[in-house]
Every structure is written in structure tokens, then in C-alpha cells.
């Protein structure tokens, strides 16, 4: 278990402020550049000294303990290997695992050939150096393992395979593993839980699916890909249904997303991938706006009309930007074979279970943990049931 108790670390234009406990599991840390992810690892590993607070590993205070005496494995963002040692000597340096365990680990990381060829670090690619660094950190049998962007620089086929192998390798260690990454898909595959950081603070933590279903605020929602964030007002239709009026339409979230909402004005989130094109009509490309309604009895629910402004191909799919009369373009992701062009008039449908009510519920459990000083301005909410 790693505990950061009221830890702060200030620089000229940045302050880390974290109070968090991480158990024997894989925790992915995500957030934009400059959010404090690497600083968090440096404080835990001992390469940076906190201004306040303390770091504990299995209830052992690490104050004043040198990095090499903490028994914490560290894989840096820029791999560092002993240049005067071969790949084999680098991997086996300080090794506690048996020869058979080391051989199996190197096969999983696809560096067994480098070991057999007795290669020098200066002959390795960046991706090969990174995988050797991962092996070297694990073979010392550390009490905790910190990985800073461990798959950066790898070719995509190797990266796809490696994230699944890393999941298996790290899970078998049964120690705290903190895994910093910019790749949210990687975080969802490798990690047991996810921490979202911004400006040196932890905004939310929990299982990745829970964060997708219950983002604590609009920043978290947007960061995990819920790009359609729309403000509206909770009201009832003439038939007694509870909906969110977003001015151009009414959206009815799943009951587990709207029960116990503490405010009448809310923000809802709809991931582009969950939006369905229900109908398309060829249009003249003109723009249109919507007037706010006074009554809700005659309007369709969870259906929004719009005009296609642009369509961008993205691999096997296409992202369409719609003018629906909202403050920002409404995004939907469609299959590359779906016939949709600029200027088309479309109707999109939304499943109630795909509508997220953002940051309006009281929270329970371990969703948020920050330091005692500067805190992000967030609302509280209750975790949705699965």
C-alpha cells in the first residue's frame, strides 16, 4: 500500500497537492500534460522531496530515505540503462527472480532475442530500451512499481500486444503499481482503477467504467471522451416524465442517472459513440436555430434534429458535427459505410442509459481524494448503479 498523506510540492507555476491511498493493484494515472502525473511518481520514488506531508509504503515512512533504498521499481519516461553493460547485464543487475522467471518475463516483453544476442544499449531503439527498463524494474522484486508512459515510442502492433501482457505481468506482482499514461484505452485495459488529475490535484478516482458513467465534473467527462456536454433544466412533461430541457429538445436520462439530483440546472453528457442516426434527409446546407419551448407535451424525447456541418473520416468510422441549435456542435460517430454528407438534415436518437448526468450528485466511497490546500471546484454526485 502507498499512502500520500497531505503531500504538497510547489514549483514556480505549479503545485502538487495530493492526499491519497493506493492498494496492491494497478492504478492508472491520467490527465493532461502538466497535471502532475510525473511529479507524483518522482515524489513517491524519492527523486523529489515534498514540501509538506509524507509518503508511506506499507506503513513505512519514506521521509529521508534515498531512492535506491526504497525498494521501489521505476520506469522513467526516458529509459535509462547502464551504457557499459549489455542488455542481459542490465536486466539481471540486482535481480532477485530466478533465471526461469527472468526468461519468461523477457519472452512476454519480447526482448528475449536481445538478451540472447548480448546487445549493447546503444544499439537499441527507444521502444526496445523501454521494454528492457520494464524488465529491469520488475526482476528486482520491488515493494512497489512506478511506470511513466511505459509504451510510449513503441510500434503500434507491439504496443497493442504489450498492454495485455503488462496487465498480466503487473497483476501477478500483487504490489502497488502506478501506471501513468496518456492512452485511456490502455488505462482501461491495464489498470484496476483510474485516477484523473488536473493542475496537481486528483479530481476523481475509481474504476474506469464508473468514471465514464459518473464523471464528477465537466472536465472529467470531457477528458474521458464524453464530448457532448449540454446544460439544461430538469422538468416534467405533461405526461409526468422527468426530463432535461436543453432548449432544442428534451432528454430523458436513465432513472439511475437522475434520481436524487440536487439541482434543477444540470449538465448532461452524451458520448459521440452512443448517438444513433435515426433518419437522414438531403438538405440545402443552410443553418437553422431553435426557439425555446414553453410546453413539453408535444415534443419527442431523446431525439434531436440537426444539420450536418462537416464529416471527418477517422479510420473505420466517421465523426459528424451537427448544428442542432446548441451552443456547440453536437458530435456523433458513425460507421464508415453510413451514408451521411455535409448539408444533410438528420435526426439522432439517444438511449436513456447512455445519458450521463454530470457532477450533480452526492458522492460516496473513494471517488475523490485531494490534498488539504487548493482544491478543484467540483460538484458532488452519487455513483450510478451498474
Q: Which of 269, 268, 266, 270 is nearest to 233 (CA)?
A: 266
Q: Which residues fall within 8 angstroms of residue 201, CB to CB, at 6 or more apart?
A: 17, 18, 36, 370, 371, 374, 375, 376
What is the model's pLDDT at position 159? 85
Work out the widest C-alpha separation in the chain, in whole angstroms. Answer: 78
Q: Which of 223, 205, 158 is nearest to 25 (CA)?
A: 205
Collapsing DSSP states into helix, strand and coil, what is residue 44? helix
Q: How far apart are CA 252 and CA 265, in angstroms?
A: 14
What is the model's pLDDT at position 282? 61
**Which run of H or E residues covers position 317?**
strand 317-323
Residues in the chain: 386
Q: Per-residue DSSP letters for 212-280?
A: HHS-SSHHHHHHTT--EEEEEEEEE-TTS-EEEE-SS-EE---HHHHTT---SEEEEEE-GGGEEEEEE
Beta bridge partners of 198: 201
pLDDT tens digit at each of 386 positions of the chain = 999 999 999 999 999 999 999 999 999 999 999 999 999 999 999 999 999 999 999 999 999 999 999 999 999 888 788 999 999 999 998 898 889 999 999 998 889 999 888 788 889 888 888 889 999 999 999 999 999 998 887 788 888 888 888 898 899 899 999 999 988 889 999 999 999 999 999 999 999 999 998 899 999 999 998 989 999 998 887 777 888 999 999 998 886 666 666 678 889 999 999 999 887 776 554 444 443 343 344 457 899 999 999 999 988 899 999 999 999 999 999 988 888 889 999 999 999 989 998 876 544 434 443 333 332 322 222 232 22
Distances (CA, A) of 62 to 2, 65, 175, 275: 10, 5, 17, 49
Beta bridge partners of 334: 318
Cα-based torsion angle of the residue sequence 291, 296, 297, 303 in order, rounded to the nearest 10 degrees = 80
What is the model's pLDDT at position 292? 38
Q: How far apart are CA 28 and CA 354, in angstroms?
A: 24
Q: How far apart are CA 115 and CA 317, in angstroms?
A: 41
Chain centroid to CA 32: how far?
10
Residue 9 cell numbers, joined = 510540492
Judge if pTM exceeds 0.85: no
Q: How far apart are CA 204 and CA 192, in angstroms?
A: 14
Residue with cell 521502444: 127
Give the Cα-Cα-Cα angle 34, 39, 43 (nearest 5 degrees).
Answer: 165
**Which run of H or E residues covers position 311?**
strand 303-314
Q: Which residues fall within 8 angstroms of residue 60, CB to CB, at 6 or more apart?
A: none
Ordered by where they begin, the domains of the chain are 2-71+142-213 (3.40.50.300), 220-358 (2.40.50.140)
Chain centroid to CA 372: how far?
24
Q: How far apart are CA 195 and CA 229, in angstroms?
A: 21
Amino acid at each position: 500500500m502507498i499512502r500520500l498523506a497531505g503531500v504538497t510540492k510547489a514549483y514556480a507555476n505549479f503545485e502538487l497537492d495530493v492526499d491519497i491511498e493506493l492498494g496492491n493493484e494497478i492504478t492508472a494515472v491520467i490527465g493532461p500534460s502538466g497535471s502532475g502525473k510525473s511529479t507524483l511518481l518522482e515524489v513517491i520514488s524519492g527523486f523529489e522531496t515534498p514540501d509538506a506531508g509524507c509518503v508511506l509504503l506499507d506503513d513505512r515512512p519514506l521521509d529521508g530515505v534515498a531512492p535506491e533504498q526504497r525498494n521501489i521499481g521505476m520506469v522513467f519516461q526516458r529509459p535509462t540503462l547502464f551504457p557499459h553493460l549489455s542488455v542481459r547485464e542490465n536486466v539481471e543487475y540486482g535481480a532477485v527472480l530466478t533465471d526461469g522467471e527472468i526468461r519468461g518475463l523477457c519472452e512476454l516483453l519480447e526482448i528475449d532475442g536481445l538478451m540472447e544476442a548480448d546487445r549493447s544499449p546503444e544499439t537499441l531503439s527507444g521502444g526496445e530500451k523501454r521494454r528492457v527498463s520494464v524488465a529491469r524494474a520488475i526482476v528486482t522484486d520491488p515493494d512497489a512499481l512506478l511506470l511513466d508512459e511505459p509504451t510510449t515510442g513503441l510500434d503500434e502492433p507491439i504496443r497493442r500486444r504489450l498492454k495485455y501482457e503488462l496487465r498480466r505481468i503487473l497483476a501477478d506482482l500483487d504490489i502497488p503499481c502506478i501506471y501513468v499514461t496518456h492512452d485511456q484505452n490502455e488505462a482501461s485495459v491495464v489498470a484496476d482503477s483510474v485516477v484523473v488529475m488536473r493542475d496537481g490535484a486528483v479530481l476523481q478516482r475509481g474504476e474506469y467504467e464508473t468514471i465514464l458513467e459518473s464523471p464528477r465534473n465537466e472536465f472529467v467527462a470531457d477528458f474521458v471522451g464524453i464530448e457532448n456536454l449540454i446544460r439544461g433544466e430538469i422538468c416534467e412533461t405533461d405526461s409526468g416524465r422527468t426530463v432535461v430541457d436543453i432548449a432544442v429538445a428534451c432528454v430523458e436520462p436513465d432513472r439511475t442517472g437522475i434520481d436524487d439530483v440536487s439541482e434543477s440546472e444540470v449538465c448532461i453528457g452524451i458520448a459521440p459513440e452512443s448517438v444513433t442516426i435515426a433518419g437522414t434527409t438531403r438538405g440545402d446546407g443552410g443553418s437553422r436555430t431553435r426557439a425555446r419551448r414553453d410546453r413539453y407535451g408535444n415534443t419527442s424525447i431523446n431525439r434531436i434534429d440537426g444539420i450536418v456541418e462537416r464529416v471527418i473520416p477517422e479510420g473505420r468510422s466517421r465523426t459528424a458535427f451537427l448544428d442542432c441549435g446548441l451552443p456547440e456542435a453536437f458530435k456523433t460517430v458513425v460507421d464508415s459505410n453510413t451514408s451521411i454528407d455535409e448539408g444533410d438534415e438528420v435526426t439522432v436518437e439517444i438511449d436513456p442509459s447512455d445519458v450521463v448526468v454530470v457532477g450533480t450528485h452526492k458522492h460516496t466511497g473513494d471517488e475523490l481524494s485531494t490534498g488539504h490546500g487548493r482544491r478543484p471546484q467540483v460538484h458532488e454526485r452519487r455513483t450510478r448503479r451498474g
